[in-house]
Amino acid sequence: EICACLVGSEMCIRDRVRKNREHVSRFLHKCVQKFQPPGGTFGSLGHIRTLFGMSPRLKACFQSKSRFKLTLLIQMEELDMEKKEQLYEGKAKKVFATDDANLVIVDYKDDATAFNGEKKGTITGKGVINNVMSNHMFQLLEQQGVPTHFVEQLSERETLVKKVSIVPLEVIIRNISAGSFAKRFGVEEGIVFDEPTIEFSYKNDELGDPLMNAYHAIALKAATREEIETIKAMAFKVNEVMKQYFDTLNVILVDFKLEFGKTADGKIVLADEISPDTCRLWDKTTKEKLDKDRFRRDMGGVEEAYQEIMKRVMGK
């Protein structure tokens, strides 16, 4: 019924629907599921009103008692998931509010920083790669039973995600010695561990993200004991899924950083990003670095490394 309406509608709507085919079909599916109408057609206008509330535009349409117009309007409002005020600008991403208090849009930048913001630069095309790759990883992890903040990619650099309150811990998993681990313990990079390690640092730029253990996190009320247990189990599961996945791309997952958040209903989900900014990725054959270390260590070939990972992950 609704498809027929859309086909018979104005040119501009047809164009928008064509450009947003995936979004529209998901929306239709959601409507049909929520209304549960027999035979997959729409329920009453009353149902629609209960579901979507009464914005002034919807109210006008509702009063005109035209289900046809009302459905189109709902479609248009859904397609226009509006980017509202900027809530935050970080070192690599901006976060924007939307019409929905439980959803935000993240917008990935090409800005790169290292050493707690002391080194600054730009990696051309990084925002697009990190956005697309993160979304790919989040979808893979969801399929494997790890809940994430991912909702839908909106454009090359923008993604709609569940708004979470970030647990102020950077969760780092390591399979092989590198970076601060090698430095702290005075060992070379490249030692393969028998078991992965986990560590937390307190997410606080002013303090330089100091290392902390679970007791410190509980003392500072950064997380509860139960939340830490959940986060640990999820982080190790993410490691298993990602290690296997990168292996199929001839890439070694050396280490990575995760962030978790709490949704409005108190559920812990994986948030932030998974990209060459937040993972150490080495080519399995040559051991070449395909991640942000090329930027941190002025090794050159930074953009090429990000593109190479993108090519292996996305096949392009």
| Distance in Å, CB of 293 to ligand UDP, minimum | 8
| Distance in Å, CB of 59 to ligand ADP, minimum | 31
**Is position 279 an interface residue for ligand UDP (rule: CB under 6 A)?**
yes
| Distance in Å, CB of 115 to ligand UDP, minimum | 7
**Is position 223 an interface residue for ligand ADP (rule: CB under 6 A)?**
no
**Is position 178 an interface residue for ligand ADP (rule: CB under 6 A)?**
no
**Is position 161 an interface residue for ligand ADP (rule: CB under 6 A)?**
yes
**Is position 166 an interface residue for ligand ADP (rule: CB under 6 A)?**
yes
Residues 241-270 that bind ligand ADP (CB under 6 A): 259, 261
**Is position 220 an interface residue for ligand ADP (rule: CB under 6 A)?**
no
**Is position 278 an interface residue for ligand UDP (rule: CB under 6 A)?**
yes
Instruction: Choose which of 149, 157, 280, 292 interacts with ligand ADP (CB under 6 A).
Output: 149
Stretch that binds ligand ADP, among 49-57, 76-84, 162-170, 307-315 (CB under 6 A): 162-170
**Is position 91 an interface residue for ligand ADP (rule: CB under 6 A)?**
yes
Measured from the CB atom, the residue of 261 and 276 that comes closer to ligand ADP is 261
Q: Let me know the angle formed at the C-alpha of 171 by 166 and 174, rounded to the nearest 5 degrees.
A: 160
Residues 227-256 that bind ligand UDP (CB under 6 A): 255-256
Q: How many Å apart are CA 36 and CA 139, to the nearest integer?
A: 26
| Distance in Å, CB of 195 to ligand UDP, minimum | 17
Residues that bind ligand ADP (CB under 6 A): 88, 90-93, 95, 104, 149, 161-164, 166, 259, 261, 271-272
